[in-house]
Structure 1
């Protein structure tokens, strides 16, 4: 604290009737700007995924469990934090109840994903070879049986695709569901929304418009499994207005899927435009290889970096020094160089280390961090009371208490030299000096 000399102080007091307004103290600040990283790295819930399938056949064959070691290696060496998992329930087309042993197999998949530090895009279906599925009452009952697993492990789910209906669970080639009466399909959507708090995805805009109630719309996105095929993604967008609808809705919903056939639209020039326009978060890197190969190495590398969010620090401003217990304001500017905002909200915190540690919550909703729109975050807090130097980091941990301390589930920023893989925090390279 600066003390006025005694003479000066007395002079002020000897002038009766004079209003004396205190002169605000100017706080010196320091600003750091940040370099841009071009590295490709894993971040939770986005990017090219690891594709897996498994089967529960009547003869007991076909089950291939997830391998935590393989998934962890794909995450660290191929930047794949998302695992697509389709579970075929062939033997349950004709049985009402999924056995406890088979439910345990499904639960074990989640345990492997948790160990590997990945999240799942999950789909259930009854056949990969024909249109045989199950009647709606059986489907709804089985969704109810799966509900405890889906709820307990919702923190590991990027999305549950609607599935269940038709070949591959894609809602088209089906024995038990018609398009003349959508009520049966509506029961599947209703059951899924009740079965898990996780995000849901449906195959087409028409399904979302017809069957998803307005109150649940924020939870339901699109999985386009014929991206860039033909003129309308092979029936995904049959109406003339569907592409405009997708462009308008996709900033606030989860979009992912796969390509399926080359077309006049499937080269990298068109793909780059549409990935951005429809805010894609995840994509199959294995299918269709003709389409993906046409993008070239540079196109695939750009897609891998930009699918979903890619958050980058632009600048940080903070006081040059503060007094113990004094007020502090830190401002950060962040931009999103990805195709989409994060689909899931999460805490935003400044972490001070040094003579003492302090975590400062920052009011923010990361789901609003849209591509190419810089966001300024402001955190005002009380400085530590112990003098010293306090390096500051930005923490964006998973919102789940079970995952919050696991670095694999924290967001890494696209700046060189900031990521701390052991703590899951991003060092700002600035220090708050308390003296």
Structure 2
């Protein structure tokens, strides 16, 4: 069996083809010993890693020692299971450090503890750090950069559960306006903050800035810098989020650039039709489900459910042509066709494996692809060639898309689930293809 494992993994091959639409491509009749399986679409709202509506949380480190509220893993896990929230938004207010250069070890440990709580709950964190939620009292640029260096070490240690870090720090709520220490005309100080964040955090962690103009001015060619629009659908320019041709520019960006945020006020254009069109055009990955209530309620339950399904990626199996029988060690092939019904491509590449289950151990056939190229509305064809097991038996087949980080790879909560009825196995984190390969001599 050990020799077969090596052959299966090294012999695997794959081809990814993007088709203009979701119609099935014309294919030749399947060869003998293969079966064709069609898959039923599911409309269920469920959690998938790094996308969707999030659980909003905030905490404070005030000068008098008050305000800290730790993350509760049980609450986060419940929201993941019952509400489909795989993300938690966490804003850390650093009030006591506006006039201090160094964050204490005890307070850094509080940040670490929150990230540990997220990991135990099976969710990831969108983090923001700010100095105030009620004034313009932020820290000086030099002090902010020092704090970023300290916090960056915590983020780096826990990058496996950090979905993104918002640029934060500057101004009220960390939204880069209403600031005492950063002028609107001197972009060099703001550049220092963004550059410090990029330098202090791993390249696997996206950084989000508040407006397209910030990215276009400070990081136009940095793919990991995305946008968070925190006044989505408010007025014609989302309360200053967009200027000039920003909307056209954003729509032209790749669907794997991270875009998310929240609504903040009802307007003439905040209804569901506009919301749906703009989330699709700008490739939204996540959204706050608790603010603004007036905007979200106007979408109706059908609109909110569709947003919950389509934010980020939503991968759905269409058709598979699979081997149903083979001789031991015989060369065989599988073809799988799927589509992304979401607003965006997956932000993170991860392994894709065809799993043949033996009951005692699993045989993994790696399929080479890059999920970040699985753009919305396009069918993806995967072809895998491998050798049948050398030991006769019945091998149910499934697809596995685990987290790429080894520490999370065996946790089902961090694996991608397909939007099909009857395929997901929550105990293994795999998607059944509904066909078994029978190996006989």
Q: Residue 18 of structure 1 aligns with which residue?
A: none
2:276 pairs with 1:272? yes
Is 249-258 or 72-81 further displaced after alignment?
A: 249-258
Q: Of the candidates 283, 306, 309, which is equivalent to residue 310 of structure 2? A: 306
Larger of the two Rg values belongs to structure: 1
1:94-109 paired onto structure 2 within 5 Å: 94-109=99-114
Alignment deviations for residues 379-421 of structure 1 (CA, whole Å, 9 cap, x no partner): 1111110112111010000011110000000001111111100
CA distance in 1, matches of 2:33, 2:405: 38
8 Å contact kept, 2:52–2:312: yes
Q: TM-score, normalised by structure 2?
A: 0.91
2:277 pairs with 1:244? no
CA distance in 2, matches of 1:43, 1:309: 9
Alignment deviations for residues 298-348 of structure 1 (CA, whole Å, 9 cap, x no partner): 111111111111111001112332211111111100101111111111110
Three-state SS of the structure 1 residue aligned to 2:82 is helix
Q: Of the candidates 346, 358, 363, which is equivalent to residue 350 of structure 2? A: 346
Three-state SS of the structure 2 residue aligned to 1:426 is strand
CA distance in 2, matches of 1:257, 1:34: 33
Structure 2: state its 5+ residue gaps.
1-29
Q: Of the candidates 263, 266, 271, which is equivalent to residue 262 of structure 1? A: 266
CA distance in 2, matches of 1:129, 1:119: 27
2:128 pairs with 1:137? no
Shift of 1:232: 0.9
Shift of 1:97: 0.1
Q: Residue 15 of structure 1 aligns with which residue?
A: none
Three-state SS of the structure 1 residue aligned to 2:413 is helix
Q: Of the candidates 320, 331, 334, which is equivalent to residue 327 of structure 1? A: 331
Shift of 1:196: 1.1
Q: Of the candidates 28, 39, 44, which is equivalent to residue 44 of structure 2? A: 39
8 Å contact kept, 2:168–2:176: yes
Q: Residue 175 of structure 1 aligns with which residue?
A: 180
Q: Residue 160 of structure 2 aligns with which residue?
A: 155
Alignment deviations for residues 251-301 of structure 1 (CA, whole Å, 9 cap, x no partner): 130010000111111001111111111111100011111110100111111
2:68 pairs with 1:68? no
Shift of 1:27: 4.2
Q: Residue 219 of structure 2 aligns with which residue?
A: 212
Shift of 1:29: 2.4
CA distance in 2, matches of 1:407, 1:332: 22
Shift of 1:357: 2.9
8 Å contact kept, 2:33–2:326: no
Three-state SS of the structure 2 residue aligned to 1:208 is helix
8 Å contact kept, 2:354–2:364: yes
Q: Residue 19 of structure 1 aligns with which residue?
A: none
Shift of 1:362: 0.4
Shift of 1:378: 1.1
Three-state SS of the structure 2 residue aligned to 1:313 is strand
CA distance in 1, matches of 2:166, 2:373: 23
Three-state SS of the structure 1 residue aligned to 2:226 is strand
8 Å contact kept, 2:319–2:338: yes
Three-state SS of the structure 1 residue aligned to 2:255 is helix
Q: Of the candidates 384, 392, 404, which is equivalent to residue 399 of structure 1? A: 404
Q: Of the candidates 297, 316, 322, which is equivalent to residue 320 of structure 2? A: 316
8 Å contact kept, 2:418–2:431: yes
Three-state SS of the structure 1 residue aligned to 2:407 is coil
Alignment size in residue pairs: 408
Three-state SS of the structure 1 residue aligned to 2:382 is strand
Q: Residue 6 of structure 1 aligns with which residue?
A: none
Three-state SS of the structure 2 residue aligned to 1:280 is coil
Shift of 1:213: 5.7
8 Å contact kept, 2:60–2:67: yes
Q: Residue 374 of structure 1 aligns with which residue?
A: 379
2:2 pairs with 1:29? no
Give the alignment's Cα RMSD to 1 decimal: 1.2
Is 247-256 or 169-178 further displaced after alignment?
A: 247-256
Shift of 1:431: 1.1
Alignment deviations for residues 343-372 of structure 1 (CA, whole Å, 9 cap, x no partner): 111110011012663101101111111111
